[in-house]
Amino acid sequence: MYLAMPVILYRLAFRGLRNRGYFKRWLERFGWFDAHIRSSIWVHAVSVGEFNAAMPLIEALLAAHPNDTMVVTTITPTGSERVVKRLGSRVFHVYLPYDLPSAIKRFMARVRPRIAVVMETEIWPNLYFACKSSGIPIFIANARLSERSLRGYGPAIALMREAVQCADLVAAQSHGDAERFRRLGVTEDRLQVVGNIKFDMAVPTGLDAEAAGFREHWGALRPVWIAASTHEGEEAAVLQAHARVLGRFPDALLILVPRHPERFRAAIGLCRSFGFRTASRSEDTLAGGDSQCFVVDTMGELLKFFACSDAAFVGGSLDAIGGHNVLEPAALGKPVLTGPHTFNFAEVCETMLRDQALIRVQNGAQLGTQLIRVLSDPALAERLSAAALGVVERERGAVPRTLTLIAAVLAGAAYGQTINQSSNSTSAM
């Protein structure tokens, strides 16, 4: 890791050319920051998606441990902005330091965690070894491990196996994830399937009223669809799909939400290059009555734009990126569409497909065809909406199960009885 630091710093600076946030707070990335906390509960969520998933758990931990400082770390500036916006002074937030022994030692000395709750798939060997040697329990929450990620460890798999074996408990999203963690070396007594925390997301109050206000502004009766968390390679396909939709519904509006801030300006330019009348959140606040595309070039507002849409396409799925969170539009009762590449949410998407709560398309042409089908058939849209809500309601409950297991780890209790009780409640997952 020390030898790799010049490359890591070069990459950090290169990313700063596209997102200026990467040029700031470099000292935190080496464990230098002003804090001397006596006792903390530490949650690490790498970026926006992981933090959004962690929010119900963080709220539950804040309520359960009022005498401990809640420390929340991220790696990306967008994740950092989201923590500050959502939790403010209720938590202590810094960047997670690089996986260097000296930086980790400084971080640990300043925050003194009673437990490390690591979201999803973050495995940093030196960090895990440091926690283990210091007697700090590691709890991997909402743990997922795709087949592709497992293969991607390649020659480093022995090191990753040694690191993950430091975890006191791995709370897997699904039986498939659990099986892959077994193959990575996690033993049965440290592995439990609890379900996906993202099913437990809370819908903010007042969201429907805000969405209705948006629609009133640009035309309440217009067909509106959203393409969320899109990547560079698939945005052209999304716009081709919109051209098809406009052929059937000339007043249709596309809400385009690029995944990464560095894509905002390029996405606006791409929409205009297709000849679409395009507005943006930062320049125009809302789409106008004559807008054909509306680019959301701000962070943290995805839910409200899901809420004001008639159908939702979730990106990162037309190209082999792995897909993003389909549960947010599902929890809002929206017909959901994805591309073929959803290995990051494989079990969730298979469940929704089985329950006819999801439409999978192969390319932009199919996306346009299926959107026209959904937007022209209110009965079909209603069936998809009801099925999506049904899946979300049926699968809720991972947060309280996770909280129970964290309490057991903190108490130093044997896992047996707790895990057996949790297994009975999650056997259908």
At 236, the pLDDT band (50, 70, 90 cuts) reads very high
CA dihedral (408, 395, 44, 110) positive or negative: negative
> What CA–CA distance (Å, rounded) separates 382 from 305?
19
How is the chain split into domains, by residue range? 25-195+397-422, 207-395
The confidence score (pLDDT) of residue 416 equals: 40
The arithmetic mean of pLDDT across residues 27-46, rounded, is 94
* CB-count exposure of residue 385 (10 Å: 0-12, 13-18, 19+): buried
* pLDDT over 60 at 422, yes or no: no
207-395: same fold as 25-195+397-422? Answer: yes
Whether 28 contacts 97, CB under 8 Å: yes
Dist CA 56 CA 68 (whole Å): 18
Q: What is the CA radius of gyration of the chain?
A: 22
Residue 91 confidence (pLDDT): 97
The per-residue pLDDT of the chain, averaged, comes to: 92
Question: What is the predicted pLDDT for the residue at 419?
Answer: 39
Whether residue 406 is predicted with pLDDT greater than 50 in this model: the reply is: yes
Q: Which pLDDT band, with edges at 50, 70 and 90, does 373 fall under?
A: very high
pLDDT at 62 over 90: yes
What phi, psi does 359 have (nearest 5°)?
A: -110, 125
pLDDT tens track for 305-362: 999 999 999 999 999 999 999 999 999 999 999 999 999 898 899 999 999 999 999 9
Band the pLDDT of 425: cuts 50, 70, 90: very low
Q: Residue 58: its pLDDT value, please? A: 96
User: Is 255 or 10 the better-scoring residue by pLDDT?
Assistant: 255
Confidence at 258, pLDDT banded by 50, 70, 90: very high
- What DSSP character marks residue 298? S
Neighbouring CB atoms inside 10 A of 91's CB total 20
Residue type, 353: L
Q: How far is CA 149 from the centre of its chain?
A: 16
The pLDDT assigned to 22 comes to 81
Q: How confident is the model at residue 30 (pLDDT cuts 50, 70, 90)?
A: very high
Average pLDDT over residues 29-40: 93
* From 50, 234, 235, 328, the catalytic residue: 50
The predicted pLDDT at position 412 comes to: 84
What does pTM read for this prediction?
0.85
What is residue 222's DSSP assignment?
Answer: S
Does residue 160 register a pLDDT over 80? yes
Instruction: Give the model's pLDDT for residue 170.
Output: 97
Q: Among candidates 290, 341, 281, 337, which has minimal Cα distance to 314?
A: 337
Instruction: pLDDT band for 250, please (50, 70, 90 cuts).
Output: very high
Q: Is the pLDDT of residue 428 over 70?
A: no
In CATH, the number for domain 207-395 is 3.40.50.2000
Q: How far is residue 138's CA from residue 128's CA, in Å, rounded to a whole number?
A: 7
Q: Could you please report the per-residue DSSP string of 80-114?
A: HHHHHHHHGGGSEEEEPPPS-HHHHHHHHHHH-EE
Out of 1.20.1260.10, 3.30.70.1290, 3.40.50.970, 3.40.50.11720, the CATH code matching 25-195+397-422 is: 3.40.50.11720
Q: What is the pLDDT of residue 148?
A: 87
Active site residue 50: yes
Average pLDDT value for residue range 394-418: 81
Tokens in use for 127? 């960090």
pLDDT the model gives residue 18: 75
- Average pLDDT rounded to a whole number, residues 202-226: 94
Report pLDDT digits (tens) over 174-191. 999 999 999 999 999 999
The predicted-structure confidence for 191-206, as pLDDT tens digits, reads as follows: 999 999 999 988 888 9
Average pLDDT over residues 55-70: 95
